[in-house]
Amino acid sequence: MILILLMKFDTHLIKTKFIKRYKRFFVDVMLNDEILTAHCPNSGSMMGLLNEGEYAWISESKNTERKLKYTLEILEHDKEKVGVNTHLTNRIVEEALINKKIKELEKFDQVKREVKFNDNTRFDFLISNKNEKAFVEVKNVTLKREIDYAEFPDAPTTRGQKHLLELINAKEKKYQAYLIFLIQREDCNFFKISKDIDKKYYENFIKAKKKGVKFLCYSSKVTDKEIILNKKIEIKY
């Protein structure tokens, strides 16, 4: 398999100051006393990150037909850069899979994106070798409420609840099944499910674990030049 480059930003990121988020997919930032409106590619709550006056990094699109010229890529909190563009999550994981940076999955040498499992579900990846096939779902993690702990989800997620049940279904159909939590920050050494935010997700998570679905968690090294897989993070059950 051909190795591919790590996830580098296509353009130089612009350092600004965060003002506010509104209408879910819009943020205002300040650059040299000018207010700019950028697209927010994150449908989650981004709890703990929407702090006025903290640094925000945005990219400028080369597409002249786009309504919004800029995209929010990174927010800073307590001097820690946090990747918030969920559109990059699968790209980071795909590159890690192909470059065999995820030890638990290095035996798989074929990687396919967005593979249909049934009429209701597509999983992020189907990975395989001569003898085995595995479906892989990926979740982006940004929430940190306690020292050293990352958490998911940051808001109730019926879609996430469903994915856990479908991974159980895949396991019952003799596929291997994995869920990777990708933390787009470096300042966490442990991960847990935020059951106070979404109790049903936690219940499905425990059910999936008992049924043989495997869970992995990795942090990311986040800079204004690139975001790459950093290290394995312990999951606390």
How does strand 133-141 pair with strand 143-146? Answer: unpaired
On the question of pLDDT at 124 being above 90, the answer is yes
- Name the token pair of 202: 């936690």
Structure tokens at 174: 């003799």
Please name the amino acid found at residue 56: A
Q: How much is the average pLDDT of 215-224?
A: 97
Residues 6+ apart with CB under 8 A from 133: 126, 127, 175, 176
Q: What is the mean pLDDT of residues 196-203?
A: 98
Residue 224 has pLDDT above 90, yes or no: yes
pLDDT value at position 6?
59
* Count of other CB atoms within 10 angstroms of residue 45: 17
Mean pLDDT along residues 205-215: 98
- What's the pTM? 0.94
Q: Does domain 86-235 have CATH number 3.40.1350.60?
A: yes
Q: Looking at residues 158-163, what average pLDDT do you find?
A: 97
Residue 3 is predicted with a pLDDT of 45
Domain 14-83 architecture: Beta Barrel (2.40)
What average pLDDT does range 128-156 have in this prediction? 97
Q: What is the mean pLDDT of residues 177-195?
A: 98
Identical fold for domains 14-83 and 86-235, yes or no, is: no
| E strand map for the chain | 14-22, 26-31, 34-39, 55-60, 70-77, 80-83, 110-118, 121-128, 133-141, 143-146, 148-152, 176-183, 188-193, 214-222, 227-232, 234-235
Quick one: which of 75, 79, 74 has its CA closest to 7? 74
Mean pLDDT, rounded, of the chain:
95
Q: pLDDT by residue (tens digit) across 41-95?
A: 999 999 999 999 999 999 999 888 899 999 999 999 999 999 999 999 999 999 9
| 4 pLDDT tier (thresholds 50, 70, 90) | very low
User: In the prediction, which pLDDT does 8 show?
Assistant: 86
* Cis preceding-peptide flag for 156 (omega within 30 of 0): no
Q: How is residue 129 written in tokens?
A: 């070798």
- Dist CA 74 CA 235 (whole Å): 25
Domain spans in the chain, listed from the N-terminal domain onward: 14-83, 86-235
Please give the pLDDT value at position 1.
44
Residue 8 has what DSSP assignment? B
